[in-house]
Amino acid sequence: MSGKAAPAAQPVELRNLVRPGLIFPNLAATDRWAVLRELADLVAETGMVGDAEALCEKLREREELGSTATGGGVAIPHCKLAGLEHVVVAVGVCPEGIDFGGAEGELVKLFFLLLSPEEAPAAHLQSLAAISRWVKKECPCDRLFSAGDPDLLFQLLQGDSVG
């Protein structure tokens, strides 16, 4: 044993979690359960998960434990799924906002859907922390709420300065 400590792992960053094909700037849902359904369907359509119905049910079960609205017009619905190979983050925007059951009744416009492999609880927590850190420190929320274009949203999520 050398007595040297292992190098600290680099923290997970949002920019490394988001993918262009998983950004949905114009969600049509008008209530809490419909937005979970819409996000589940959209993610399943990409092939990232096989069963939209099972995903929606897991998200609903988690949401019934307590709202994942974090304040500032943001929510982070999340769950762990068996058979998932890696963490998946989808981003959706409801420009009009949705009552998502948050403490102060604030409308949620920005959704970070986090899906993690069931057997990777550490990755799940690290990804939740990365999203939360980014929202608190870097989020250009007003620009994200009104971007309307997946490419622009992706650039903003990457921290790229845009126009």
The catalytic site residues sit at: 78
Residue type, 51: D
Tokens of 104: 């102060």
Q: Tell me how far apart the alpha carbons of residues 81 and 100 are, in angstroms, rounded to a whole number.
A: 22
Reduced to 3 states (helix: H, G, I; strand: E, B; else coil), residue 89 is: strand
DSSP 30-83: -SHHHHHHHHHHHHHHTTSSS-HHHHHHHHHHHHHHS--EEETTEE--EEEETT
